[in-house]
Amino acid sequence: MHGRVKVKSTAQQEEEKRKEREKKLKVYLAARDACFSKRKEGIWDEGALQVTQQLLSSNPDFGTLWNYRRETLMHLETVRDEDEVQKIYEAELSFLESCLKVNPKSYGSWHHRGWVSNRLPRPDWARELGLCDRCLSLDDRNFHCWDYRRVVVKMSGVPVDQELAFTDRLIGSNFSNYSSWHYRSTLLPLLHPESPEEPAPPPRRASSSPPPSPQSRSHRVCEEQLLKEYELVQNAFFTDPNDQSAWFYYRWLLGRAEREEIISCMFVSREEERVSVAFSRAVNSAGLLLVLDGQPQRVEWRSVHPRFKHSPVWICDLAPGTISDVTNEHNLTVHWMEKHTHRDCALYTGRTESWCRDSATDQELFRSDLSVEKTSVLQSELQSCNQLRELEPLNKWCLLTIILLMRALDPLGYEKETLAHFQTLEVSRAKTRPLDAEQEVGSLTSSFSFFLFSPSRQEVDSMRSAYYGDLCSKFMIENTILKMEYAEVRVFSISDKSLTTLCHLDQLLLVTHINLSSNQLHRLPPQFAMLQCLEVLEANNNSIENLEGVYHLPKLEEVLLKNNKISTLADLEPLASCPKLKRLDLRGNPVTQVANVEAELTALLPSVVDLLL
Amino acid sequence: MAEEESQFEEFEQIDFLGDRHVRFFQRTLQVLPERYASLETTRLTIIFFALSGLDVLDALDVIDRNTMIEWIYSLQVLPTEDQANLSRCGFRGSSHIGIPYSTKGPGVLHPYDSGHVAMTYTGLCSLLILGDDLSRVNKQACLAGLRALQLEDGSFYAVPEGSENDIRFIYCAASICYILDDWSGMDIQKAIEYIRGSLSYDSGFGQGAGRESHGGWTYCAIASLCLMGRLEEALSQRELDRIRRWCIMRQQSGFHGRPNKPVDTCYSFWVGATLELLDVFQYTNFDKNRRFILSTQDRLVGGFAKWPDSHPDPLHAYLGLKVHPALNITQRAFQHVQQLQQTWRGSTGSCSRHLCTFAISK
């Protein structure tokens, strides 16, 4: 059905074709009926093989017939001697070759060949590999053939280094061979594992956490081999920088194992008598235990928003009076049973709140996505990519990889260059707001080379500009988190950065003041409710129309939303769940034109005394 | 001369020829060209493409629903009197085996008659599309037939006699369980392990462990996890972000299924729907995608083809239209199944977040 090209033909040719088809149809029907009556009568002989052969040659996807054939063959195994069986199966392999010539992508044919190879008394694996080579030379992306080759390799015990050499040859003759790079990615970790003796994986229990991924530790490659691979893949992308294969493979080589799973932050508030906990990944609440002064507590854990059964932040309320007395000191511990880890937090006398966390810097949170390589290796990779960029300034893969490497080496130090590269990737982003003088100079110098090559601003990958916009937003948020930590404050300020989306909100549990003004945000999503300590929310001059995430924020007093797109009273309902809200600025929003808006809002938000419309 | 004229016509307008597509699907339901003969064994899937296509085009009235419903029920492999064939129940692809036509039980025992997981899936969807209430589906038999198909490693065979096994059939199984509102048809945990094992180094999904990433298998993986309601449990945020990145890079104008392959209409669905399920469809360039799809439109006979200047076929004709991303049916048909489930449960249906929040208007 796939991919038949239209061919015009004359009336006479049409008529000839029609006659031939009719003849074929008669033959087909006769054969099919003969087949089924034979099978019904339980006849499993060479005649059966002949009859099914006729049909399968023209329709290799008739699954039932392959099954009948397999039954016949299995029966013949019991009534013929080994040499005869060998001959029968070899004939079968020849037959399959002719089927595969007609349709090299038939599931039925490949599956049957695998079955036959498994049962052949004296298999000829070299022949099978030869078949695969021929098939791949015609279409090196035929995954049926690749899959079959893997099966043959496994069954015949071809050593991994031989297969690796095979991929060397294929890649050497054609760097664009994505399937070969893929195969290499599965072979390399087997041949050159990261640690020679991998500890046995812990016994699997029924748990809520995902089983280890293919990119986890046990599949990583040892460093010495990695360096050789870098060289190989650099040859590939220097030869053809527009070919995705090498870049994706390179990205994998630079990739990183999942980080340790921990309780990243714990916050205790006397006033709300509440404990808020942030985890390194989304979890469900089963298996969380709170211990207060040595006593396990019966508490109900809830996520920040009813939408989330799975969340990186969980909250529980203590019984009234438990920790409210400021003259008492308390020790709290949260246990994450499944991971055998816990976090302690001491609430001191005279203090109304307390917290305990690992900093993002310590966790190497945002040197994300790259393995723990020596800095010098990363530097040299960055140098190579920059060399390529001089030759190919508009190549998106190159730019993305450079961004990735810069973030791994020094996210804050390379911030300006990163922004400039994003602008090259998606010029439409730059059009939405004027660059300020400082940034303009920065971007001009780093983008100078492409001004040389193209008189007008050219779009490198404008098709994915929305994606790059969000990706850049993510990096800017990461940098702001780092800056916040260095300054040791709980104020998160990221205004005028063309933010299109919010992320890492689970890292902002302790933030008291947030400034998102003058960006391109459309909503404050439910995850925003993770900002449990928030007192002041500034988000003027955005395009916000949805406030779902401003939900049950116990300390929130001020919300500034001037010049946004809030249009109905319903949009403001979440705010009613914030008991301390005093000041609300809605100037410049369509909702201010709604009839009777002031009275409605006073009724909806009784705690607000300072309402600006 | 004629060629020049038709090229000029194409230049003038790339518009959507709804009526032609309706007629294309109508013809699909009546007579197919000879080259489709090899698909006889999977006829029900072709019917599904046509029916769902007509549904998207709001043109189901051109067919006789009742006759169609009866024909689909005739494909149900029902339990025999003694229930000996329970593990072989489900729906078959067509009447090619030669079982006498019947829409009611008990089933007839035939050594080579059994359900096929993709036929059961498309059969149930087709019935939903036609507005049937599934009351004549023997749910317990279907689920028993489904259980018999799952292997130790979590993947599924297509038929109980055995076949290749991979992630495609996990998707079919998950859809069946979702529609019948009964997950006893499969071991979810094992299926999740198989899916995770199929995640490749570049964060696309292969057909199974160690196999090459592909847009179709990535769809099967993500859609299955969404149907099971386990997307965020089974995959970490980082993994999901990488998967999103792999999928986004599939757009060239339309979409291709694998790097360095040409774009193909059907991947606008497989990859597009995956991106929608992952909440990032807005990252795609809608305009370029639409233009590519319309360029594969056959202006004469209707339907869409895999590439421009190729023959249209029902699969590409259907996947060129827009449907619910997880179950591959229209929103109307999806709402119908939700309503049915409510009556079965006598309470509000509880579908996963990803499925509830889709309000696809046609």
Q: Which residue of A has its CA nearest to B285?
A: A463
pLDDT band (50, 70, 90) for residue A371 = low
What local confidence, expressed as pLDDT, does residue A450 receive?
A: 36
Quick check: A123 pLDDT over 80?
yes
Say which residue the tokens 């038939």 belong to: A106
Asked whether the beta carbons of residue B112 and residue A67 sit closer than 8 angstroms, the reply is yes
- A214 touching B (Cβ < 8 Å): yes
What local confidence, expressed as pLDDT, does residue A451 receive?
A: 36
CA B162 centroid distance within chain: 21
Q: Which residue of B has its CA nearest to A253?
A: B201
Helix axes B117-129, B167-180, angle to 10 degrees: 40
Instruction: Encode pLDDT of B81-120 as tens digits.
Output: 999 999 999 999 998 888 889 998 898 888 889 999 999 9
Tokens of A229: 């691979």
Tokens of A588: 């410049």
Of the candidates B287, B292, B348, B290, which has an alpha carbon nearest to the alpha carbon of residue B322? B290
CA dihedral B64, B69, B72, B77 (to 10 degrees): -160
Nearest to A6 among B196, B285, B309 (CB): B309
Quick check: A132 pLDDT over 90?
yes
What local confidence, expressed as pLDDT, does residue A45 receive?
A: 80
Please give the average per-residue pLDDT across A524-553, as a whole number.
96
Q: Which residues of B touch A25 (CB under 8 A)?
A: 34, 37
Least Cα separation, residue B159 to chain A (angstroms): 9
Burial class (CB in 10 A: 0-12, 13-18, 19+), A348: exposed
Quick check: A517 pLDDT over 50?
yes
Task: Return the higher-pLDDT residue of A6 and A141.
Answer: A141
Quick check: A220 pLDDT over 80?
no
- Give the list of residues 6+ apart from residue A211 with CB closer than 8 angstroms, or none: A204, B193, B196
| Helix (H) or strand (E) run with residue A536 in it | strand A536-538
Whole-model pTM: value is 0.83
Q: How high is the mean pLDDT of chain A? A: 84
- Give the list of residues 6+ apart from residue A302 with CB closer than 8 angstroms, or none: A285, A314, A315, A316
Instruction: Encode pLDDT of A395-450 as tens digits.
Output: 999 999 999 889 888 889 999 999 999 988 875 443 333 333 334 333 443 343 33
* Number of residues that make up chain A: 613
Nearest to A67 among B161, B189, B249 (CB): B161
Asked whether the beta carbons of residue A143 and residue B211 sit closer than 8 angstroms, the reply is yes
Tokens of A300: 């109900």
Quick check: B13 pLDDT over 70?
no
Please give the average per-residue pLDDT across B212-219, as a whole number.
95
What local confidence, expressed as pLDDT, does residue B137 receive?
A: 96
- A205 touching B (Cβ < 8 Å): no
Quick check: A88 pLDDT over 70?
yes
Nearest to A3 among B200, B212, B310 (CB): B310
Q: Which residues of A touch B193 (CB under 8 A)?
A: 211
What gap in Å lies between CA A223 and CA B15, rounded to an integer?
A: 55
What gap in Å lies between CA B321 and CA B56, rounded to an integer?
A: 7
What one-character DSSP code corresponds to residue A104? T
**Whether B231 contacts B225, CB under 8 Å:** yes
What local confidence, expressed as pLDDT, does residue A329 receive?
A: 95
**Whether B128 contacts B102, CB under 8 Å:** no
Instruction: Encode pLDDT of B227-238 as tens digits.
Output: 999 998 899 888
- A67 touching B (Cβ < 8 Å): yes
What gap in Å lies between CA B194 and CA B171, rounded to an integer?
A: 12
Coil/strand/helix, residue B150: strand
What gap in Å lies between CA A465 and CA A99, rounded to an integer?
A: 46
What gap in Å lies between CA A481 and CA A446, rounded to an integer?
A: 25
Quick check: A206 pLDDT over 50?
no
What local confidence, expressed as pLDDT, does residue B51 receive?
A: 93
Nearest to A213 among B40, B192, B196 (CB): B196
Q: Where are the alpha helices (DSSP H) in A139-294?
A: 143-156, 160-173, 178-191, 223-239, 244-253
Tokens of A439: 């940034």
Positive or negative torsion for Cα A548, A549, A554, A560: negative
Q: Which residues of A touch B207 (CB under 8 A)?
A: 143, 147
Q: Which residues of A touch B164 (CB under 8 A)?
A: 107, 110-111
Task: Return the higher-pLDDT residue of A272 and A457.
Answer: A272
Q: Which residue of A has its CA nearest to B198?
A: A214
Quick check: A363 pLDDT over 80?
no
Task: Return the higher-pLDDT residue of A71 and B309.
Answer: A71
Amino acid in the structure at residue A138 = L
Asked whether the beta carbons of residue B211 and residue A243 sit closer than 8 angstroms, the reply is no
**Whether A409 contacts A379, CB under 8 Å:** yes
What one-character DSSP code corresponds to residue A552? S
Quick check: B357 pLDDT over 60?
no
Asked whether the beta carbons of residue A185 and residue B260 sit closer than 8 angstroms, the reply is no
CA B269 centroid distance within chain: 10
A311: how many CB neighbours lie within 10 A of its CB? 26
Nearest to A210 among B37, B236, B306 (CB): B236
Q: Which residue of B has its CA nearest to A400?
A: B245
Phi, psi of A331 (to 5 degrees): -120, 125
What gap in Å lies between CA A58 and CA A60, rounded to an integer?
A: 6
Phi, psi of A334 (to 5 degrees): -110, 130
Nearest to A5 among B213, B309, B313 (CB): B309
Nearest to B236 among A63, A67, A258 (CB): A258
Positive or negative torsion for Cα A338, A312, A551, A321: positive
Nearest to A252 among B201, B264, B283 (CB): B201
Of the candidates B110, B199, B208, B113, which has an alpha carbon nearest to the alpha carbon of residue B156? B208
What local confidence, expressed as pLDDT, does residue A28 receive?
A: 73
Beta strand A610-612 pairing with A583-585: parallel
Q: Which residues of B touch A107 (CB under 8 A)?
A: 163-164
Residues 316-355 in A contacting B (C-alpha not used; CB under 8 Å): none
Nearest to A63 among B163, B192, B236 (CB): B163
Q: What percent of chain A has pLDDT over 70?
A: 86
Asked whether the beta carbons of residue B202 and residue A249 sit closer than 8 angstroms, the reply is yes
What gap in Å lies between CA A65 and CA A70, rounded to an integer?
A: 9
Say which residue the tokens 């995608």 belong to: B289
Nearest to B199 among A39, A208, A213 (CB): A213
Helix H, strand E, coil C: the string for A324-372 is CCCCCCEEEEEEEHHHCEEEEEEECCCCCEEEEECCCCCCCCCCCCCCC
Residues 218-277 in A contacting B (C-alpha not used; CB under 8 Å): 243-245, 248-249, 251-252, 255, 258
Chain B interface, best mutation among A16, A115, A143, A504, by max B CB count within 10 A: A143
What local confidence, expressed as pLDDT, does residue A55 receive?
A: 81
Q: Looking at A306-310, A372-376, A410-414, B271-275, which range is the least confident one?
A: A372-376
Asked whether the beta carbons of residue A252 and residue B202 sit closer than 8 angstroms, the reply is yes
Asked whether the beta carbons of residue A67 and residue B162 sit closer than 8 angstroms, the reply is yes
What local confidence, expressed as pLDDT, does residue A204 receive?
A: 42
Q: Which residue of A has its CA nearest to B237?
A: A281
Tokens of A110: 């490949």
| Helix (H) or strand (E) run with residue B76 in it | strand B76-77
Phi, psi of A373 (to 5 degrees): -95, 160
Please give the average per-residue pLDDT across A181-197, as a whole number.
80
Instruction: Encode pLDDT of A32-75 as tens digits.
Output: 777 777 777 777 788 888 888 888 887 888 888 898 889 889 98
**Residue A554, preceding bond cis, omega within 30 degrees?**
no
What one-character DSSP code corresponds to residue B205? B
Q: How high is the mean pLDDT of chain B? A: 86
Tokens of A299: 């508490």
Nearest to A210 among B37, B233, B260 (CB): B233
Quick check: B217 pLDDT over 60?
yes
Q: Which residues of B touch A111 (CB under 8 A)?
A: 163-164
What gap in Å lies between CA A120 and CA B122, rounded to an integer?
A: 37
What gap in Å lies between CA B289 and CA B291, rounded to an integer?
A: 5
Residues 5-44 in A contacting B (C-alpha not used; CB under 8 Å): 5-6, 21, 25, 28, 32, 36, 39-40
What gap in Å lies between CA A607 and CA A555, rounded to an integer?
A: 13
Q: Where are the alpha helices (DSSP H) in A535-577?
A: none
Q: Where are the alpha helices (DSSP H) in A240-329?
A: 244-253
Helix H, strand E, coil C: the string for A70-136 is HHHHHHHHHHCCHHHHHHHHHHHHHHHHHHHHHCCCCHHHHHHHHHHHHHCCCCCHHHHHHHHHHHH
Asked whether the beta carbons of residue B283 and residue A147 sit closer than 8 angstroms, the reply is no
Question: How many contacts (CB atoms, under 8 Å) link A and B?
Answer: 157
Tokens of A384: 């190579």
Residues 142-171 in A contacting B (C-alpha not used; CB under 8 Å): 143, 146-147, 150
Coil/strand/helix, residue A31: helix
What gap in Å lies between CA A338 and CA A330, rounded to an integer?
A: 25
What local confidence, expressed as pLDDT, does residue A432 receive?
A: 34
Least Cα separation, residue B250 to chain A (angstroms): 10
Say which residue the tokens 């023959």 belong to: B311
What gap in Å lies between CA A528 and CA A549, rounded to an integer?
A: 5
Quick check: A146 pLDDT over 60?
yes
* Number of residues that make up chain B: 362
Tokens of B277: 């399920």
Nearest to B159 among A63, A251, A252 (CB): A63
Q: Quote helix, strand, coil % in chain B, to nearest 5.
A: 55, 5, 40
| Helix (H) or strand (E) run with residue A585 in it | strand A583-585
Q: Which residues of B touch A255 (CB under 8 A)?
A: 201
Tokens of A517: 């003004």
Q: Which residue of A has its CA nearest to B286?
A: A463
Expressed in angstroms, the distance from the first to the final Cα of chain B is 38
Task: Return the higher-pLDDT residue of A132 and A453.
Answer: A132
What local confidence, expressed as pLDDT, does residue A196 receive?
A: 54
What gap in Å lies between CA B229 and CA B240, rounded to an integer?
A: 15
Asked whether the beta carbons of residue A284 and residue B233 sit closer than 8 angstroms, the reply is yes
**Whether A113 contacts A129, CB under 8 Å:** no
Quick check: B139 pLDDT over 50?
yes
Burial class (CB in 10 A: 0-12, 13-18, 19+), B16: middle
Least Cα separation, residue A346 to chain B (angstroms): 31
**Whether A280 contacts A261, CB under 8 Å:** yes
pLDDT band (50, 70, 90) for residue A307 = confident
Instruction: Encode pLDDT of A313-336 as tens digits.
Output: 999 999 999 999 999 999 999 999
Q: Which residue of B has its CA nearest to A259?
A: B238
- Give the list of residues 6+ apart from residue B278 with CB closer than 8 angstroms, or none: B222, B240, B243, B244, B247
Q: Which residues of B touch A22 (CB under 8 A)?
A: none
B97: how many CB neighbours lie within 10 A of its CB? 16
Q: Which residue of A has its CA nearest to B248?
A: A464
Nearest to B259 among A21, A178, A284 (CB): A178
Instruction: Encode pLDDT of B40-68 as tens digits.
Output: 889 999 999 999 999 988 899 999 999 99
Quick check: B34 pLDDT over 50?
yes
Least Cα separation, residue A176 to chain B (angstroms): 8
What gap in Å lies between CA B339 and CA B342, rounded to an integer?
A: 5
What gap in Å lies between CA A295 and CA A289, rounded to an integer?
A: 10
Note whether ipTM > 0.90 here.
no
What local confidence, expressed as pLDDT, does residue B227 receive?
A: 95
Asked whether the beta carbons of residue B202 and residue A1 sit closer than 8 angstroms, the reply is no
